[in-house]
């Protein structure tokens, strides 16, 4: 059975801290891995990772995939209160379906 495990489940930090969120997966027919941010409503797309070892960056956020060890990390540097959200990772399958992990709830305190 396919598995997506995110850790930690929740995290509380102070503004300015750096955080690393983890996602490990065991899926068949893996194509790529996506990261999403969910605040009050719908998930919003952050990154899609297809190749191992190539870091993707967007401002203070960055992410990398290790297809050999089957995990990905999402880093957020210099966190701000606006980064408070649930961060979801989701493997994308060859048939373009996508399944979410349970998420990491990040709370950034002022």
Partner 1 sequence: EPEVTQTPSHQVTQMGQEVILRCVPISNHLYFYWYRQILGQKVEFLVSFYNNEISEKSEIFDDQFSVERPDGSNFTLKIRSTKLEDSAMYFCASLDRSEGGYTFGSGTRLTVV
Q: Which residues bind partner 1 (CB under 8 A)?
A: 32, 34, 36, 38, 41-46, 48, 50, 88, 95-103
Q: Which is nearer to partner 1, 49 or 76 (CB)?
A: 49
Nearest 10 degrees: CA dihedral of 78, 17, 52, 32?
-80
User: Read out DSSP for 44-62?
Assistant: EEEEEE-STT--EEETTEE
Taking the complex as a whole, how short is the minimal distance between the CB of residue 17 and partner 1, in angstroms?
25
Pairing assessment for the beta strands 10-14 and 71-76 based on DSSP bridges? unpaired
Q: Which is nearer to partner 1, 40 or 68 (CB)?
A: 40
Taking the complex as a whole, how short is the minimal distance between the CB of residue 99 and partner 1, in angstroms?
5
Q: Which is nearer to partner 1, 50 or 75 (CB)?
A: 50
Taking the complex as a whole, how short is the minimal distance between the CB of residue 82 and partner 1, in angstroms?
19
Q: Are 99 and 3 in contact (CB under 8 A)?
A: no
Quickly tell me which residue has 């509380």 as its tokens.
12
Taking the complex as a whole, how short is the minimal distance between the CB of residue 57 and partner 1, in angstroms?
16
């Amino acid at each position: 059975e396919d598995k997506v495990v995110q850790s930690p489940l929740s995290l509380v930090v102070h503004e300015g801290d750096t955080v690393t969120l983890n996602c490990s997966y065991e899926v068949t027919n893996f194509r790529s891995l996506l990261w999403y941010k969910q605040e009050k409503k719908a998930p919003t797309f952050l990154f899609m990772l297809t190749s191992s070892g190539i870091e993707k960056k967007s401002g203070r956020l960055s992410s990398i995939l290790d297809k050999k060890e089957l995990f990905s990390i999402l880093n957020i540097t210099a966190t701000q209160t606006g980064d408070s959200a649930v961060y979801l990772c989701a493997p994308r399958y060859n048939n373009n379906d996508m399944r979410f992990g349970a998420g990491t709830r990040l709370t950034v305190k002022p």
